[in-house]
Amino acid sequence: MADENPELYAQDRIDPFAGEKLGWGDLEVFFHVAASGGLSAASRHTGLSPPTLGRRMVALEQRAGQALFQRGPRGYSLTPAGQALFARVRAMNAAAQPVNDLLAPEASRPLIRVSAGTSTARFLGDNHHALCRPDDGFRLHYTTTEVTLDVSHRELDLGIRNSRPESGAVATRRLGQVAFAPYRSWSAPASGMSGWVALDLANARHPAARWLHGQDLPIVAMASSVAMVHDLVRAGVGIGLMPCMIGDRDDRLCRAGPVVADLTEDQFLVFHDDDRHRPPLRRLIERLVKLYADQAALLAGERPLR
For 227-258, how does the pLDDT look when each residue is reduced to its tens digit (9 = 90+)?
A: 999 999 999 999 999 999 999 999 999 999 99
Lowest mean pLDDT among 4-8, 53-57, 87-91, 180-184: 4-8
Is pTM, for the whole model, over 0.85? Answer: no
> What integer is the mean pLDDT of 167-177?
87
Nearest to 208 by CA among 138, 259, 281, 283: 259
CA dist 113 and 206 (Å) reads 22
Whether the Cβ atoms of residue 50 and residue 93 lie closer than 8 Å to each other: no
CA dist 152 and 276 (Å) reads 13
β-strand partners of 76: 71
CATH code assigned to 180-263: 3.40.190.10
CATH fold group of domain 6-95: Arc Repressor Mutant, subunit A (1.10.10)
> What integer is the mean pLDDT of 212-218?
93
What integer pLDDT is reported at residue 138 of this predicted model?
A: 85
Most confident by average pLDDT, 1-10, 21-30, 31-40 = 31-40
The predicted-structure confidence for 86-139, as pLDDT tens digits, reads as follows 988 888 877 676 666 555 555 456 788 999 999 999 999 999 999 998 888 888
Please say whether the structural domain 104-175+266-292 has been given the CATH code 3.30.160.270: no
CA dist 12 and 20 (Å) reads 12
**Local confidence band at 65 (pLDDT 50, 70, 90 cut-offs):** confident
Name the amino acid, one letter, at 83: Q
Helix (H) or strand (E) holding 125: helix 118-126
C-beta neighbour count of 232 within 10 angstroms: 19
> What integer is the mean pLDDT of 25-54?
86
Nearest to 111 by CA among 100, 121, 127: 100
CA dist 163 and 151 (Å) reads 14
How distant, in Å, are the alpha carbons of 50, 104, 287, 290, 292 from that of 134?
A: 39, 19, 15, 19, 21
What integer pLDDT is reported at residue 276 of this predicted model?
A: 77
Nearest to 154 by CA among 272, 243, 6: 272
- Identify the residue with better confidence: 18 or 151: 151
Give residue 13's Cα distance to chain centre. Answer: 39
Boundaries of CATH 1.10.10.10 in the chain? 6-95
Indicate if the pLDDT at residue 22 is higher than 70.
no
Whether the Cβ atoms of residue 242 and residue 119 lie closer than 8 Å to each other: yes
Boundaries of CATH 3.40.190.10 in the chain? 104-175+266-292, 180-263
Lowest mean pLDDT among 66-70, 151-155, 260-264, 294-298: 151-155
